[in-house]
Amino acid sequence: MEYKDLTAAITKHGVDFHKKIDQAVEKLHSKVEESKTNQLRILHAHLDDIKKKSSKIKGELNSINFVLDSQDFLKLSSFTFTIETFRKLPQKIMPFCATFTPRQIQGEELCTLFGLISSGKLTSEEHGYSFRDSSEAECISPVKQLLDKPKILTTLETKFEKFLNNVACVSEDEIWTSGNVCTMKRFNIIQSSLLEEVYLEDSCIPGDIAVTKHDYLVYTDPKERTVNIVKNEEKILIELENWKPCSICSTSSGDLLLTMDNEYSQSKVVRYSGFMVTQSIQFDDKGRHLYSSGDMKYVSENKNLDICVADSRAKAVVVVNKVGKLRFRYTGHHSFTPLGISTDSQSQILTADLNNHCVHIINQDGQFLRYIMCGLSYPWGLCTDKNDNLFVAQWRNRQVKKIKYLQ
């Protein structure tokens, strides 16, 4: 299809779309007129009943006055009063005005309703074959729509002795998990089988876990103030002095993002490339703290390279761009308690809402899209695999649910 034909097709679709909007508005007007007509009919009928009863009352009063004026005892003694029949007045009818509740339509939602257009790809062809830059192919993600009703694909019983906090994806079949115990477990979630178990020292409880670009497990040790990697034998990657590492995630470039706090009630996000600190994010452009104090924060990198932090104490998801400039805060609804956080191929942000037993999905600009419920119970840790399946670690019952939420 040539570009002029494409433009003509879009214009024609726009006209059709506009006609449907006009039809919808006309239908709403029609319902308003119908409601008004019905109410007027009922009120006119009610008014007629009142007029009839008023006329009867006047007739009864005239009859009484006639008997009284006649001064005829026989007429007065034989007169029958019908006042009791008028004690019950007609039922009072209150008219009402129909109300219109507008539905707020976001620009992105309107674009989705209007239609989608695929990105053009430049190709070269010679001697019957074509080629395209492979790096470009990797950057282009197919557009996926949210399912009307998410589906639970698998439920895994981890059998942790205490609460389950964290989950990290190795693949669509394998995950690492950790909780309030000195153990980390790797499972095949499809077969519900335990593949590996890493035992830590009695005093070590992982703060958070992540899987690196090369599929190695890393975890934070808040007590010892270290970040460790499980690779053949355990090894300390990062050792801190004045700060305590909390949550961790591996980025698309292979860097590590850490949330950390100190004894002065300060929190920040730090990027490590190898052993070197290459970025520190703590304040906005007015010098105010971006994050609340304390360790209840989880971090994830979005596909657009935004850095997303679920700040439980602040009851907000705080998103900054790749250079650390604040983009937005998402504060949810109804006692929002964000914990685990993850992102997907559509640059959508998912965060676990512990007390409301659900997962919030928001777009890359902070606009709410959907809840994932699926009978979740105290969801805590989150991760997504390369196929956009969502894994949810449930705190109290120590289950991991694998959920499909995109088409």
The predicted pLDDT at position 101 comes to 58
Rg (CA), the chain: 34
189 three-state secondary structure:
coil
What pLDDT does 97 receive?
A: 64
Instruction: Say if CB 234 and CB 225 are below 8 A apart.
Output: no
pLDDT number for residue 152 = 97
Where on the phi/psi map is residue 27: left (φ > 0), alpha (ψ -120 to 50), or beta? alpha
Q: Which contiguous run of DSSP H or E holds residue 167?
A: strand 164-169
Report pLDDT for 227: 96
Q: What is the mean pLDDT of each run of 10 residues along the chain (407 residues)?
A: 69 78 80 78 80 82 79 74 67 63 55 57 45 46 91 96 95 96 95 94 90 95 94 84 95 96 93 94 96 93 98 97 97 92 98 96 97 96 97 97 97
* DSSP, res 95: -
Considering the entire predicted model, what is its pTM? 0.67
First and final CA of the chain: distance in angstroms?
A: 27
Calculate the CA dihedral of residues 307, 146, 186, 356 and round it to 10 degrees: 80
User: What are the C-alpha distances in Å from 78 to residues 65, 73, 75, 160?
Assistant: 15, 9, 5, 95
pLDDT in tens, 2-48: 666 767 777 877 787 778 788 878 887 887 787 778 778 878 887 88
Residue-by-residue DSSP string for 283-338: B-TTS-BSS-SSS-EEEEE-TTS-EEEEETTTTEEEEE-TTS-EEEEE--SSS--E
Comparing CA positions, the residue from 164, 226, 233, 231 lying closest to residue 401 is: 164
